[in-house]
Amino acid sequence: MASDDAGGGPKGLAAFLALTVIVLVFAVATATAIGDYNIGLGTVFLSVTNELGLTGAEIAPIEQSVIWNLRLSRALVAALAGAGLALCGAILQALLRNALAEPFVLGVSAGASTGAVCVIVLGIGAGSLSLSLGAFAGAFAAFALVALLSNGATSGPNHTILAGVAASQLFNALTSYIVTTSGNAQQARDVMFWLLGSFGGVRWPDFQLLLAVVIVSFAVCIWMGRALDAFAFGDEDAAALGVPVGRVRLILFGVTALLTATIVSMVGAIGFVGLVVPHAARYVVGPLHLRLLPACAVVGAVFMVIADIVSRVVATQQTVPIGVVTALVGVPFFAIILYRARPQS
Amino acid sequence: MSVVAESLEWGVRRKPIVRDVSLSVAPGETLGLIGPNGSGKSSLLRLLAGLKRPQSGGVRINGQDIAQVSRKALSRQVAFVQQSAATDTNITVHDVVRLGRMPHRSALAGWSETDEAAVASALMRVDMTSRRAQPWQTLSGGERQRVHIARALAQTPQVMFLDEPTNHLDIHHQIEILRMVRDLDLTSVIALHDLNLAAMFCDRIVVLEAGAVRACGTPTEVLTQTLLRDVFRVSAQVSASEDADRPHIRYRVE
């Protein structure tokens, strides 16, 4: 008998994960190779092995610098952001028992926007670090409000979703208020660009921070993966199976808020990845979370890296905001989910 | 395992739902919980199963106060079957029943032979072994209820609480499920609406009225014309069936 939480068996899952990781490596390499200044894939790989001290090939310093300092960090942050958002989506869809739940359902992105706008428009603090901190603070303020409105997240899925909608509306209104009363045209454009998401300007320290947050969050989620399965038939059913429902809920909401806030404060509010990827992954590996969560992480990473490539090549000489690309793919998918989820009668 | 409740009180805001309920269930006994809508059957069942915390009073299962036991430890002894629990998840019968092993496994533990044996025997018990690979969404109401019971059995509990397990089922499946539960070698408490089924399958019956115990005893002791009129507001004739302990109720329309 299978030693894993069945479905297609552990071998099927391992093969799928291995395949997706290979695709991910090539996607990251491609993302590093292409741009205004194209570099060969072979050079990219050699440059990385050089930097890791494995090879000593001759590479032009300019290429080495572009690959290592600009593009590779960007591609890896994109991969981590995709993995993190997909993970959040899978967790929230399970906890809220709602197929349309996604990382921003808890009002986190709206809160982050307000925080960012306070920095950009009102000039609270200065410099790029304070922008991230502002976004992070706003994200957690929104999360705290949602947790408060839904009685510490113990009062059931619909209550939490309603609280999230209320918090989103409130923070979006605050953002609009600040922009219209205090901002000028240039600031409004900055805010707009930031809200739609961008990987421009991310560097190695961002990668290191995000890597740590993603690894910790992923470990917590896997640890609670079986408990998430028990939520399939509702909170009470999970409790009857021995799951400490209130505690699991609060910890996992906290993890998703931390992960989303970190990503949003780094690269803006990138929509639809968290919604689309868990559904796609479920088609392949089934609904059990010990299989679903790793699959979501790798598929989310691939999706985001490819979206980043598309955002850079679709329009000549400029970068389309990443949120535009993910939404253009995400909205048709969303429509399919809605169509499939319609009442059967 | 015995279940003993002592002066349980529970309510929402200032409205009492369960008032001063004390009862005891002997090991191996099947206890029926009956009462009109809103009499507190479901709430009492959840208090007994430890899913709700009483405002005062307590429940002891096999002599142990359940408030002192962790959720996980409790779920190794006590299973709870909700009425018609649903899901949108596209999960197979086998995986639903496997969920029943959760209380016995640590977070990342592998799947043991004991786990597999418990799941196989639970599936066999409800006659769903051949349907184990079938998706949940394609099952009929009766099959879903049987799978829920199989999941509860996979917990290998010593006490089982069932909240109107026969709701929405046709009469054949109602009788099938209750016979199965009665024949299980464990203590069970079942909330039921159908009084004749309660009389047929329960060793003893507790009648709830407005959250308090109105009567308690064997079906013959409890199901009297007077009680049916006072509690359920129906006029009925109660006649003895072939089995002296299993009265039969015929309702009358005036």
Q: What is the mean pLDDT of residues B163-173?
A: 86
d(CA A39, CA B103): 55
Cα A48 off chain centre by: 25
What is the structure's pLDDT at A155? Answer: 62
Cβ–Cβ < 8 Å for B199, B246: yes
- Strands B3-12 and B15-25: what pairing? antiparallel
Residue B138 DSSP label: G
Q: Are A206 and A140 in contact (CB under 8 A)?
A: no
Residues of A in contact with B92 (CB under 8 A): 7
Query: Nearest-CA neighbor of A38 among A69, A63, A64?
Result: A63
Quote the DSSP letter at residue B135: B
Q: Which residue ranges in chain A fall short of pLDDT 70?
A: 1-9, 125-129, 151-156, 334, 337-338, 340-345
* CA gap B131, B147 in Å, rounded: 10
Q: How far is B62 from chain A (nearest CA, A)?
A: 18
B63 contact partners, CB below 8 Å, separation of at least 6: B2
Query: Could you report the per-residue pLDDT of A237-281, keeping only the tens digit for each?
Result: 999 999 998 889 889 988 988 898 888 888 888 888 898 899 888
Q: Where are the alpha helices (DSSP H) in chain B?
A: 41-48, 71-75, 93-99, 113-125, 141-154, 171-183, 195-201, 219-222, 225-232
The bridge status of strand B247-252 relative to strand B235-240 is antiparallel
Contact between B128 and B147 under an 8 Å Cβ cutoff? The reply is yes
* Amino acid occupying residue B58: G
Count the neighbouring beta carbons within 10 Å of the beta carbon of residue B34.
27
> In this predicted model, which residue has the larger pLDDT, B1 or B68?
B68
> What domains sit in chain B, N to C, each tagged with a CATH number?
3-77+157-252 (3.40.50.300), 91-156 (no CATH)
DSSP letter (8 states) at residue A132:
H
Window 99-118 of A, Cβ < 8 Å to B: 99
Nearest to A230 among B46, B99, B116 (CB): B99
A35 torsion bin: left (phi>0), alpha (psi -120 to 50), beta (else) = left
Tell me the backbone φ, ψ of residue A85, rounded to 5 degrees.
-65, -40
User: Which range, of A125-129, B73-77, B221-225, averages the lowest pLDDT?
Assistant: A125-129
* Torsion on CA atoms A202, A206, A211, A214, rounded to nearest 10: -90
Q: What are A67's two structure tokens?
A: 């690959």
Cα of B100 to nearest chain A Cα, Å: 7
Are A8 and A285 within 8 A, CB to CB? Answer: yes
Q: How many CB atoms lie within 10 A of CB B90?
A: 14
Out of B71, B91, B92, closest to residue A242 by CB: B71
Tell me which chain A residue has its CA closest to the CA of residue B99: A230
Integer angstrom CA distances of residue A77 from A17, A54, A324, B191: 20, 23, 18, 55
Position B148 scores a pLDDT of 92
Burial of residue B30 (number of CB atoms within 10 Å: 0-12, 13-18, 19+): buried
Asked if B108 lies within 8 A of A222 by C-beta distance, the reply is yes
How far is C-alpha A42 from the chain's CA centre?
A: 30
Cα B22 from Cα B6, distance rounded (Å): 4
Structure tokens at B21: 């309920």
Alpha carbons A77 and A72: distance in angstroms, whole number: 8
Alpha-helical segments (H) within chain A: 9-33, 41-51, 61-65, 73-95, 108-120, 128-149, 157-182, 185-196, 204-223, 225-230, 235-240, 245-267, 273-285, 289-313, 322-340
Interface test with A, best of B99, B114, B147, B156 (most A CBs within 10 A): B99
B100 to A341: CB separation less than 8 angstroms, yes or no? no
In B147-164, which positions are buried (b, 16+ CB within 10 angstroms) versus exposed (e)?
bbbbbbbbbbbbbbbbbb
Question: According to the model, what pLDDT value does residue A152 have?
Answer: 56
Over residues B41-63, the pLDDT tens digits come to 999 999 999 999 999 999 999 88
DSSP-derived secondary structure for A59-95: --HHHHHIIIIIIIHHHHHHHHHHHHHHHHHHHHHHH
Q: What is the pLDDT of residue A20?
A: 93
Write out the two tokens for A64.
Answer: 């080495």
Among B49, B153, B43, B137, which residue's Cα sits nearest to residue B99? B153
Which pLDDT belongs to residue A120? Answer: 79
Cβ count near A200 (within 10 Å): 12
Going by pLDDT thresholds of 50, 70 and 90, the confidence category of residue B33 is very high
pLDDT given for residue A154 in this prediction: 57
In the structure encoding, which two tokens stand for residue A182, read together? 């205090």
Q: How far apart are CA A200 and CA A321, in angstroms?
A: 10
Between chains, do A232 and B89 touch, taking CB under 8 Å as contact? yes
CA-nearest of A113, A139, A138, A134 to A123 is: A134
Instruction: Give yes or no for A234 touching B (CB within 8 A).
Output: yes
pLDDT > 70 in chain B, percent:
98
The alpha-carbon radius of gyration of chain A (Å, integer) is 21
Please answer yes or no on whether B95 and A1 come within 8 Å at the CB atom. Answer: no
User: Hey, is the C-beta of A159 within 8 angstroms of any chain B C-beta?
Assistant: no
Q: CB within 8 A of A268, min separation 6: which ones?
A: A193, A194, A195, A196, A197, A198, A321, A322, A323
Tell me what pLDDT residue A7 has. 44
**Kindly report the CA angle at A63 between A57 and A66, in degrees rounded to 5?**
130
Cα B24 from Cα A112, distance rounded (Å): 55
Question: Does the distance separating the beta carbons of B110 and A3 come in below 8 Å?
Answer: yes
Q: Kindly list the residues of chain B whose beta carbon comes within 8 Å of any beta carbon in chain A.
A: 46, 49, 51, 71-76, 79-80, 82, 85-92, 94-96, 98-100, 102-103, 105, 107-108, 110-111, 113, 116, 155
**Best to test chain B binding among A236, A249, A285 (most B CBs inside 10 Å):** A236
Sheet holding B56-61, edge to edge: B15-25, B3-12, B56-61, B64-65
B123: pLDDT confidence band, cut at 50, 70 and 90?
very high
* Interface mutation target, options B42, B45, B71, B97, chain A, most CBs of A under 10 Å: B71
Q: What is the CATH T-level fold of the domain A9-340, as seen in this structure?
A: ABC transporter involved in vitamin B12 uptake, BtuC (1.10.3470)
Residues of A in contact with B72 (CB under 8 A): 242-244
Least Cα distance to A331 among A268, A273, A264, A281 occurs for: A273
Token digits of residue B35:
């009462």
Mutation site for B-interface testing, chosen from A233, A235, A251 by largest number of B Cβ within 10 Å: A233
Instruction: Tell me whether residues B49 and A240 touch, CB distance under 8 A.
Output: yes
Residue B111 confidence (pLDDT)? 87
Residue-wise pLDDT for B176-194, tens only, equals 889 988 888 899 999 999 9
**pLDDT (0 to 100) of residue A157:** 74
Rounded Cα gap, residues B161 and B52, in angstroms? 13
CB A59 within 8 A of CB A43: yes
